[in-house]
Amino acid sequence: MAGRPRGVEDAVLLRHTAEVMGRVGPAGLTLAAVARAAGVAPATLVQRFGSKRGLLLALARASADAADARYERLRAAHASPLAALLALAEEETAPLASPESFANHLAFLGMDLADPELHAHALTVHRAQGRAVARLLEAASALGELRPSADPARLARSVQTVVAGTGLTWALDREGTLPDRLRTELTDLLAPHLAADLAPHPHVPAGTGPTGTGTIRTTTTTSEES
């Protein structure tokens, strides 16, 4: 006899967890709050994850897995690896699009840094994101988007540092939008490393892709994220 259907998938519950996290911060994140957002009984979360801590650990594990999947999807959607890199940075920081949500997620990072088990999962997420960035830069180098002197591994570390620092700076001064700031800061970082025929201007336009004409545009495939 077949088992009873699970109903709402874990991925949906974890997505609601991340949304609630951005709205209410650590103090307001309860199983009851997530259950309300997801339209399920709190007992469902207890059954699936055991506790609030178990829910946070599951979210961290899912975030690490998502970094690899996001790389594959964005790389397939963009002819230019550098365009995919800009899209990756914007997607990863999308939950932080308001200063309030940034502050709430930053508060959870404080929990990650203080708790050894949570820190281990946060580090896994960080490393998975770093791999995605490095793979895109390696692909950009192989396609001739970067100068031969560019070191994709070192540049990947700089990209992660710029993304993290840009978010914090933007949350403080609140000038413009976070996606716009990310595009500006990342194009400033990448500009000196671009191949000569792709760098006629000081900034790489958002959503770039090589055209062979000294300007850059995006080429995308038709793909949807479920």
pLDDT score recorded for residue 5: 41
pLDDT score recorded for residue 95: 87
Residue 143 is which amino acid?
Answer: L
Task: Taking residues 21-32, report their average pLDDT.
Answer: 91
- 124 confidence band (pLDDT: 50, 70, 90): confident
Q: Can you tell me whether residue 194 is helix, strand or coil?
A: strand
CB atoms within 10 A of CB 111: 14
202-209: long-range contacts (C-beta < 8 A, 24 or more apart)? 204/82, 204/86, 206/86, 207/78, 207/83, 207/86, 207/87, 208/80, 208/82, 208/83, 208/86, 209/78, 209/79, 209/80, 209/82, 209/83
Q: How many angstroms separate the Cα of 82 from the Cα of each of 77, 139, 186, 194?
A: 12, 9, 10, 10
Structure-token pair, residue 84: 């995919």
Task: Taking residues 149-160, report their average pLDDT.
Answer: 96
pTM, full prediction: 0.78
pLDDT score recorded for residue 195: 92
- 14 confidence band (pLDDT: 50, 70, 90): very high
- 4 confidence band (pLDDT: 50, 70, 90): very low
pLDDT score recorded for residue 60: 84
pLDDT score recorded for residue 23: 93
